[in-house]
Structure 1
Amino acid sequence: MILQQPKRLLLITTGNIKNRGLFDLIRANAQTLKALFNSCNYVELTNDSIIGHER
């Protein structure tokens, strides 16, 4: 993170869920994730929230 590598990071903190649930979560939030990456380079996806960390 200090060296800006990787350029963007998606941290998924959902705990143990089935792959199907993970894919559904990502699909349901894809547009929001994409929009957040326009202003943040570090985004965290949880079971019930999306957190964009400032650059």
Structure 2
Amino acid sequence: MKFLVDAQLPRRLVVLLRKAGFDAIHTLDLALGNRTPDRVINELSIKEQRVVITKDSDFVDSYVVKQQPWKLLLISTGNIRNTELIALFVANIDKIAEGFKVFNFIEINQMSVVFHS
């Protein structure tokens, strides 16, 4: 599974995903960095079959209307510390990876992982 981590999320998330055996890149490492337009992120997601990980609800709108990006992981935790976010991923990465075998849109918050049809 391949992931594309959006700019507002920490690079440490990419490190964690790679250590867990996944292919992961951060939008800050793309040519336009934190100014990479959502359209470009969506196109890269589709081209490389990457799950976009984001807090940005614009991606939810795009997914619902256009089925873009390829797959979406929405982080709906509100503002939490990066250490708490990393801990959420450590606790749930296997569940998330399994979920993407069936679902294209998954949401994670402090209490649960939600699989959207």
| TM-score, length of structure 2 as denominator length | 0.44
Among 71, 95, 102, the residue aligned to 1:8: 71
Percent identity reads 39
Distance 1:46 1:33 in 2: 12
SS in 1 for 2:108: strand
Query: Aligned letter for 2:92?
Result: N
The answer to which structure has the higher strand fraction is 1
CA RMSD of aligned residues (A): 0.9
Cα displacement (A) at 1:3: 3.0
The answer to which structure has the higher helix fraction is 2
The structure whose Rg is larger is 2
Distance 1:27 1:9 in 2: 18
1:16-27 aligned at under 5 Å gives the runs 16-27=79-90
SS in 1 for 2:104: strand
Distance 2:81 2:66 in 1: 33
For residues 1-55 of structure 1, give each alpha carbon's deviation from its aligned partner in whole angstroms, at most 9, with x where no partner exists.
Answer: 233221110000111110011011011100000011111000000100111111x
The aligned length equals 54
For structure 2, which runs of at least 5 residues remain unmatched after alignment? 1-62
